[in-house]
Amino acid sequence: MLKLVWLVILAVCAWRLFFGRWPWQRRLPARRSFAKAQAQVLLGVDDGADRREILDAHRRLITTVHPDRGGSSEKVHEANAARDMLLADLPTESQEQ
């Protein structure tokens, strides 16, 4: 029985060493999907948004955060990065066919 306990402890430690987390811990979402979710929240679009919806949401956000309207250039850069990420994740026409 004691050998079994040690074997389980060794297996759990090996799991931690190999996967970087304990076996009972949940997996963290992929970094890209987390960034995509943040971009969707920033622009205020749904998961299935098309190109036009993304561009319209970006335009609305830029009008509020532009430095000429009292915003900051950092917010403009964030909005542009969110737009670029969501547009890059859209399937192209060649992939749809």
- Full domain range(s) for residue 73: 2-90
24 within some domain: yes
75 with 65: CB under 8 angstroms?
yes
**Number of domains, the chain:** 1
95 within some domain: no
CATH value at residue 6: 1.10.287.110
10-42: per-residue pLDDT in tens? 999 998 888 888 888 877 556 668 889 999 999
The 10 Å Cβ neighbour count of residue 45 is: 19
Higher pLDDT, 16 or 59: 59
Burial of 43 (0-12, 13-18, 19+ CB in 10 A): buried
